[in-house]
Structure 1
Amino acid sequence: MAYTEKHTLPERSEDCQEAVSSDTTPSLNTEETRGDGVLERYISFVSAINFGFVLECSWEASAVMFQLSLANGGPASMVYGCFLAGIGTTAVAMSLAEMASMDPTVGAQYRWSARFAPRWNKFWGLMQGLAIFNSPDYVPQRWHITLLMWAITLLPLVGNFWFRKILKLIESIGAFLHIAFFVASIVTLLAMAQRSSARYVFQTLTHDVSGWTNPAVAWGIGLLTVTYPLTGDEVVQARTRVPRSMILSVVLNSIMQTTYMVCLLFTIGNVDQVASTPTGLPIIEVYYQATGSKAATNLFVAVMGLVIFTSFFNVFASVSRLIWAFSRDKGLPFSNFFGSVNPYLKIPLNALLLIGTCVALLALINIGSSTAFNAFLSLPALALYISYFLPIFFVFWRRVTQPKSIAWGPFSLKSMGIPVNLFALCYITFIIAWMPLPTVLPVDGNTMNYAGPLVGAVIVGALVDWVVSGRKRFQIRTAVPGPRI
């Protein structure tokens, strides 16, 4: 299959006076072709903000997952962790946004790394928790979760066939619910829930529940509740809009997450009852204690699930385009097949179907072992932070050693680049250090955190592929950058 790409010569400006280096990669223009199809760039600035805004679904995800922090670190980990995560992820977003401004490509981290070298279990757990809450006699089985995963996977998978037509509606609904029920939740909890003391919220450090007795370790593990990924996608005028949408989405979600978690801790009610709820999801018990109504509790929790479900559309869209981009650069076996674009739908259909197939197959693991399945769910978070670290480190090193070799985009950190990059690297390293640790002691087959060994296995497998054939097959395409907008 022949591959062609459209480019125009760049306009020069004060922000980009340096010569384009030989390793310059193609920018995101209005369309890219592969085979018989055209992959269009159609997301507006507002859609780009909504895309990342809903994808992070920060306060909803924290509400669903905060039981981890109840046993590790407690309120101190959640409150101060929110501030740390907000500052840290903003630094990461600024660092990545600068690279997106230079090269706003679908491949993102792996392409930036190549250029400068010398991220669902929340939703499934939420649905099962609601089932137990409304039907106390219900006894969940692992195969129930597998069937639920298949059903929930089908809609966003099929919906992505017409993603362009339904994008604005999905993103608008998701963004509205994300904000409206954030306000409604806070107002309801403050008005109706039993109040906690300021001492409990700001001075309680839990380190004697999960088995981890070291306060620093317990606090660090509890941070995982409030750390979230960043995203970007095909955006018209991508060199300016991608950086803005990335940073704005992270800042807004950080503010909402911090506000919600502080409110939640002040209105948590009976902590022992919340922590031991039979649903396995403390947030259900928090709303029920506050409202005393199953109907109101179902409404609040169901809307959280709806926002998280809306983010699934974004996940399928983003990952399918990442597979398409990686295949286009010959990074996967059968690259011509997975790197093609459907000429009618104008999406990477084969890559999208690959994702759906993988999710359906991985769901089968849960039938045999929920522990092994949970390891697959925790793997992406660790891998994602590693993928952030590499391009930021490489651009930081290039910034220090060869600053004139970088062709900056419209968005540049300028003199703040070195300290921002360095802080982002320190933050990522700090978060990665806690991710492979088990959340409960003593460690056995059921409590083992397999994310670390799995990441190691993936890295070893990638290195083997690189030595055998990848170094000959994989090639980042070079071209003259597109117009400065």
Structure 2
Amino acid sequence: MHPKPTGKDDRTAEAGGVAVAPGLAEPSDLQLLAKMGYKQELKRQYSTPQMFAIAFSIMGLVPSIASTIAFSLPAGPVGMVWGWFTASIFIIVVALAMSDLASAMPTAGGLYFWTHYFADEKYKNPLSFLIGYSNTLGLIGDTFALMILSCVSISGDSDWTASRGVIYAVYVGLILFHGLSAAVLGRVMPKIQTTCIYINIGLIVATVIALPVGKVARGGSLNSGKYVFSQVENETGWPTGWAFMLAWLAPIWSIGSFDSCVHMSEEAMHAARAVPLGIMFSAGSALVFGFLVLAVMAATMNPDVSQTLGSKFGQPMAQIYYDALGKNGALGFMIVLCIVQYLIGLSLLVAASRQAWAFSRDGAFPFSNFFRQISRRFQYQPVRMIIGLVVICLILGLLCIINNAATNALFSLFVASNYLSWGMPIFCRLVWGEHRFKPGEFYTGRFSRPIAWIAVLYLLFGVVLSMFPNAAPNPGPPDMNYTVVINGFVWIGCMAYYFLFAKHWFTGPRTTVDEDRSTESDTAIVNSLPNDSHISKEN
């Protein structure tokens, strides 16, 4: 066993020639990280189940379904149930492709690091820069204030709905509380993630049991199996087939954070195995449990889809609980959903801070030297970056004050940004870098390339899908989906920033294994990197 860290800055240990604070990691993880050019700065304390837990917690299936059901409900039960199942299959293909890369090169900067590693020499710096920023934006969305306010609406038995100012005020309070929790609870965060597994599974089981039992007990009847699995609706104005495709947005958003395992790589024990298993377990469980929950919801909801969509509570899920369980039962479940939503936001901020910290470690952000610092007082947490992300979240959240279109654009911004970030390194590996790919402990073998191509094509389709308006083929300005505008602004702005300024100082991932080196063996690790290494030496 390694000795426990003392908290003193002047104490270091060496493993594989890398000087680190004692107790941060096992030698095998230190050496694997050093081969990628980085010294260990975070504390490795997440087991394989806890890696699964952080992704599963961010997915938060029942509250995520509640937040996104408005995307699938317009297509009726078929859109809800089979839309989830179909899209989830493709998402698992993406998870397989990502797991191949995550096992080979488990680092917190994952997606932009892989992009730089595999891309052609003349494209690697701008593409890596774009993916790093896109991925960071894709991780900091936190749009669940409406769930809290649904509780207030149910409790009051009224038609009251929250104003946009009230929604933003709740959002601000939640984000600030998330930031405080993420900064000071580092020591117990793995245990919190383990607890999240039990809470989420408990909520799934309770929902699956309580909805049908409550509906029957209140004198209602369940919808038939034919209704659940074959009833087609279309409340969108689009052709029915496209309405079904738009229903994919629910699982696309809900099963959209398994890359959090990648960003926690440098805190995972035996990362080459724990990270890919965390990705696959979370994506697979989402398919199974989500399908089950949605089938039960379809069996217990009002057969008139328009009544549920037009719920006075502002949340179709709240209406489904209310119809099956009455006011008190619905309020109880919605309170639990709000608690789980808090845990989702906390886990998301933790994962996002690691991605952003890794990007600042490579000098990509303004004031990177300030934000890349690790707080040993708070259990080796990137506290400064956590605070920085809280500020960014507060600014982005102002969009919800404008109108529904701006809110939905913010919502879809994270889908498009994430999908671009997931697809680019896989594409770069296929087109330019296959000869550089060295499989890790998890590898899909001869199916790896076909899986990767299917993943890239699906992710491209997902980006396009996220930019369509839900309402009708000819929406007015209030109903338009402005995701293409916002994403275009972000992506074009990012590239303009790079070519005007950042190209003079951003050179991709930087070597840190020989920072403050005290032995010659540090230099040996740096020199062991390939001559065409993707890593630049930090000045």
Q: TM-score band (shorter)?
A: 0.7 to 0.9
Please say if 1:53 is aligned against 2:79.
no
Change (3 A) 1:263 1:9: farther
Contact 2:46 2:269 in 1 (8 A): yes
Per the normalisation by structure 2, the TM-score is: 0.79
> Which among 437, 445, 455 is matched to residue 424 of structure 1?
455
Aligned residue in 2 for 1:220? 245
1:123 deviation in Å? 2.2
Please say if 1:443 is aligned against 2:475.
yes
State the distance in 2 between where 1:449 and 1:201 align.
29
Aligned residue in 2 for 1:190? 212
> Which amino acid in the other structure matches residue 407 of structure 1?
K
Aligned residue in 2 for 1:397? 431
SS of match in other structure, 1:66: helix
User: After the TM superposition, which residues 83-94 of structure 1 pair with which residues of structure 2 at under 5 Å, given as runs?
Assistant: 83-94=85-96
Aligned residue in 1 for 2:287? 254
Please say if 1:113 is aligned against 2:112.
no
Change (3 A) 1:260 1:129: same
Contact 1:78 1:261 in 2 (8 A): yes
> Which among 61, 69, 82 is matched to residue 72 of structure 2?
69
Aligned residue in 2 for 1:289? 323
User: After the TM superposition, which residues 363-378 of structure 1 pair with which residues of structure 2 at under 5 Å, given as runs?
Assistant: 363-378=397-412
> Which among 493, 497, 501 is matched to residue 469 of structure 1?
501
User: After the TM superposition, which residues 8-407 of structure 1 pair with which residues of structure 2 at under 5 Å, given as runs?
Assistant: 8=16, 25-26=36-37, 31-32=40-41, 39-71=42-74, 73-118=75-120, 119=139, 122-135=143-156, 136=158, 138-193=160-215, 194-207=221-234, 209-212=235-238, 214-227=239-252, 228-229=255-256, 230=258, 231-232=260-261, 233=264, 234-271=267-304, 272-292=306-326, 294-345=327-378, 346-398=380-432, 402-403=434-435, 405-407=436-438
1:104 deviation in Å? 0.7
Please say if 1:413 is aligned against 2:444.
yes
State the distance in 1 between where 2:315 and 2:240 align.
24
State the distance in 1 between where 2:498 and 2:401 align.
34
Contact 1:26 1:105 in 2 (8 A): no
1:139 deviation in Å? 4.6
Contact 2:51 2:275 in 1 (8 A): yes
1:89 deviation in Å? 1.5
SS of match in other structure, 1:51: helix
Contact 1:25 1:476 in 2 (8 A): no
Aligned residue in 1 for 2:131? none
Query: Which structure 2 segments of 5+ residues have no match?
Result: 1-11, 19-33, 121-138, 216-220, 514-524, 529-539
Question: What root-mean-square deviation, in Å, do the aligned CA atoms of Structure 1 and Structure 2 show?
Answer: 2.4
Q: Number of residue pairs matched?
A: 452
Cα deviations across residues 38-60 of structure 1 (Å, max 9, x unaligned)? x3222122211211111111233
Contact 2:404 2:479 in 1 (8 A): no
> Which amino acid in the other structure matches residue 331 of structure 1?
A
State the distance in 1 between where 2:328 and 2:415 align.
34
State the distance in 1 between where 2:117 and 2:313 align.
48
> Which amino acid in the other structure matches residue 240 of structure 2?
P
Q: Which moved more, 1:161-170 or 1:147-156?
A: 161-170
Cα deviations across residues 119-175 of structure 1 (Å, max 9, x unaligned)? 455521111222222221535211111110111112211011223223134223321
State the distance in 1 between where 2:360 and 2:15 align.
21
> Which amino acid in the other structure matches residue 347 of structure 2?
N
> Which amino acid in the other structure matches residue 25 of structure 1?
M
Change (3 A) 1:430 1:367: closer
Contact 1:25 1:477 in 2 (8 A): no
Contact 2:223 2:303 in 1 (8 A): no
Contact 1:436 1:451 in 2 (8 A): yes
Q: Which moved more, 1:58-67 or 1:256-265?
A: 58-67
> Which amino acid in the other structure matches residue 26 of structure 1?
G
State the distance in 2 between where 1:54 and 1:121 align.
14
State the distance in 1 between where 2:113 and 2:243 align.
36
Cα deviations across residues 217-269 of structure 1 (Å, max 9, x unaligned)? 21111110122212211212111111111111111121100111111111213
SS of match in other structure, 1:408: coil
> Which amino acid in the other structure matches residue 62 of structure 2?
W
Contact 2:84 2:291 in 1 (8 A): yes
